Amino acid sequence: MKHKIFPELSSDQLFERAKKVNPGGVHSPVRSFAGLGHSPVFFEKAEGATLTSVEGKTYIDYCQSFGPMILGHRDPEVLKPVHEMIDTAWSFGACEPYSLQLGEWIQSHIPWAEKLRFVSSGTEAVMSALRVARAATGRHKILKFEGCYHGHVDSLLVKAGSGLAGIAAASSAGVSDAVAGETLTVVLDDEMALEEVFRREGKNIAAVIIEPLPANYGLLIQRKEFLIKIRDLAKTNGSLLIFDEVISGFRVALGGMAEILGIYPDLVTYGKILGGGFPVGCYAGRKDLMELVAPLGNVYQAGTLSANPVGMVAGYETLQKMQRVNGWQLLEKRGQYFEKKIKDLFNAKKAPIEFIRYGSLFWFHLKTEKPIRQVGQIPAGQKEAFRIFFLKALERGVYLAPNAYEVGFLSLAHDEAILDRTVKILEEALG
Ligand code: PMP
């Protein structure tokens, strides 16, 4: 940005003005710092692993736009083709080769994505996958898991995570009882409850949807046996399995959790990394299911800006670079490096904090005796402990996602020097 907008205003002043324009001063709830006792920082620049506020203060960024920026912000190898695309076209609303390039790449690397459709957000991808599942099975009910977030699709705001995490009534107003009534929920990591709901409702369940690595109510790493059980029960009951890999897709491995686990869904949803920081979502899956979508089939789904060429190029170039540099292996190594240093620090300081990591995703929670796999196992003091930790880190220049239940993201721009600096800052913060 060449010209500063509102050059005379601080973050606090901008927030006061924003509150007069949008609900709560934000365009997405978690950005508001609600419950943290601080007003949000307004940023004007992003580069690599850092964000710079309107006051000119630089922060090491572990939010990374909630996941899309796997290479870090404005990676030069993505920036150049994106510039070229912007110089060529912004949107066609017509057929073009850019989405074909990305689509073919996905199809050739992810065998369970036999056919796919690009949309503009993760929410849209999930909403469309549900529609396909209902059309394919002729059934109405959807089974989801407590604490999993699948975007703001009406029927999936029941017992969801993300911005709804930590709220007593974790469902949204404005969702009719009829719609909410079509959603069944089960606690994660509970095979008996799962069997019971299938025994009761199996014939009515169009699809089971799960984040195979639940990352919207903290990082609730599941046992593989539990996910196998879900796959088996869905199959024997004629229900479809949808993996929501909007966060885990292209992050934990090229083929996401499905690849790591060797458990393959009937339909899968992607977003975030796939657009390299631009608005892109995707639903994909079995050919017979995807061929139900219009204009081939009678499941209607459309989008003015779907497969926007700038997002298509950003996503494609991001993934090409990840492959070229073996990014997933590199991120695992950086994750291990960070984990060891953080755990050593917490031990040395006798801090009652646990550091949970899966690849380049991490989460801090108050120490517990057993690994946390369900929402109900998260200690009661989590919110307040996080508030203190977050503010101390923020003050010293480390930006974590502003919510006790959001995960942190590492990018390839988080090199060892930056990770070392972070650990030093957290050491000071722990006092
Ligand atoms: N599914 C999951 C697992 C997500 O984490 C999110 C967003 N964080 C969504 C769906 C919705 O994606 P979007 O915000 O792009 O609509």
What residue owns the CA closest to ligand 1's atom 13?
122
Residue-wise pLDDT for 177-217, tens only, equals: 889 999 999 999 999 999 999 999 999 999 999 999 999 99
Q: Give all domains of the chain, ordered by start, each with its CATH number.
A: 11-62+326-430 (3.90.1150.10), 76-324 (3.40.640.10)
**Cβ proximity of 279 and 249 under 8 Å:** no
How confident is the model at residue 170, as a pLDDT? 60
How confident is the model at residue 337, as a pLDDT? 98
What residue owns the CA closest to ligand 1's atom 11?
151
> Which atom of ligand 1 is nearest the CA belonging to 162?
8
For 124-127, which contacts have Cβ atoms below 8 Å and span 24 or more sequence positions?
Answer: 124/151, 124/281, 124/303, 125/151, 125/246, 125/269, 125/270, 125/271, 125/281, 125/282, 125/283, 126/150, 126/151, 126/153, 126/156, 126/209, 126/242, 126/244, 126/246, 126/269, 126/283, 127/151, 127/153
CB atoms within 10 A of CB 351: 18
How confident is the model at residue 200, as a pLDDT? 97
Q: Is the CB of 247 under 6 A from ligand 1?
A: yes
- Stretches in the chain below the pLDDT threshold 70: 1-3, 166-170
**How far apart, in Å, are the Cα atoms of 84 and each of 81, 303, 321, 325, 354?**
5, 24, 17, 23, 45
Helix (H, G, I), strand (E, B) or coil at 324: helix
How confident is the model at residue 3, as a pLDDT? 62
CA of 140 to the centre of ligand 1 (A): 22
Q: Which of 31, 128, 150 to mutate to test the pocket of ligand 1 (most atoms within 8 A of CB)?
A: 150
> Which atom of ligand 1 is nearest the CA belonging to 126?
10
Residue-wise pLDDT for 373-425, tens only, equals: 999 999 999 999 999 999 999 999 999 999 999 999 999 999 999 999 999 99
Q: Is the CB of 216 under 6 A from ligand 1?
A: yes
What residue owns the CA closest to ligand 1's atom 9?
151
Q: Is the CB of 126 under 6 A from ligand 1?
A: yes
How confident is the model at residue 162, as a pLDDT? 78
**Cβ proximity of 417 and 384 under 8 Å:** no
How confident is the model at residue 194, as a pLDDT? 98
List the one residue out of 349, 384, 355, 383 whose CA is nearest residue 367: 355
> Which atom of ligand 1 is nearest the CA belonging to 121?
15
How confident is the model at residue 9, as a pLDDT? 96
- The sign of the torsion formed by the CA atoms of 371, 374, 379, 385 equals positive
Catalytic residues: 149, 244, 272
**Cβ proximity of 147 and 374 under 8 Å:** yes
CA of 281 to the centre of ligand 1 (A): 9
**Cβ proximity of 71 and 410 under 8 Å:** no
How confident is the model at residue 159, as a pLDDT? 84
Nearby residues of 94 by Cβ (< 8 Å), 6 or more positions away? none
